[in-house]
């Protein structure tokens, strides 16, 4: 069983930064594709960013230029650097792992999910 644990969310003012992280255990992290998704109250879960095992990246248009996804295989951890935060970024942020190792924004390809970390951006 693969376990993912997010941390690093919190409350920040508009224009500020946060860097949530996701620690993986119970699997071979280096071959996974990894993704970040978010879900705001009353809204469906949406794709944010993804990074393949070969470190190719892809971002949702809403965060492109502001967020950066990265991974540290030595630490079995994926990060989401979030800059220039806006109130509309407020959501629970989830990380997910795809055993296929591919670059994908399709949540159907992610078999393992973390519990989420709350990000709140105040105006």
**pLDDT tens, per residue, the chain with 123 residues:** 789 999 999 999 999 999 999 999 988 888 899 999 999 999 999 999 999 999 999 999 999 999 999 999 999 999 999 999 999 999 999 999 999 888 889 999 999 999 999 999 999
Output the six-digit token pair for 22: 């996701």
Q: Output the pLDDT for position 114.
A: 97
Place of tokens 């003012």: 13
Query: What does each C-alpha distance from 41 to 31, 46, 52, 94 come to in angstroms?
Result: 33, 12, 29, 14
Distance CA 18, CA 67 (A): 10
Distance CA 73, CA 79 (A): 11
- Parallel, antiparallel or unpaired: strands 117-122 and 10-13: parallel
């Amino acid at each position: 069983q693969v376990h993912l644990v997010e941390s690093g969310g919190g409350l920040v003012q508009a224009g500020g930064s946060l860097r949530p992280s996701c620690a993986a255990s119970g699997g071979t992290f280096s071959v996974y594709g990894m993704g970040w998704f978010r879900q705001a109250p009353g809204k469906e879960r949406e794709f944010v960013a993804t990074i393949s095992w070969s470190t190719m990246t892809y971002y949702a248009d809403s965060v492109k230029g502001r967020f950066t996804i990265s991974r540290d295989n030595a630490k079995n951890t994926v990060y989401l650097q979030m800059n220039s935060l806006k109130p509309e970024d407020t959501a629970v942020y989830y990380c997910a792992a795809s055993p296929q190792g591919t670059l994908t924004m399709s949540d159907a390809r992610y078999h393992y999910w973390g519990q989420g970390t709350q990000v709140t951006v105040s105006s």
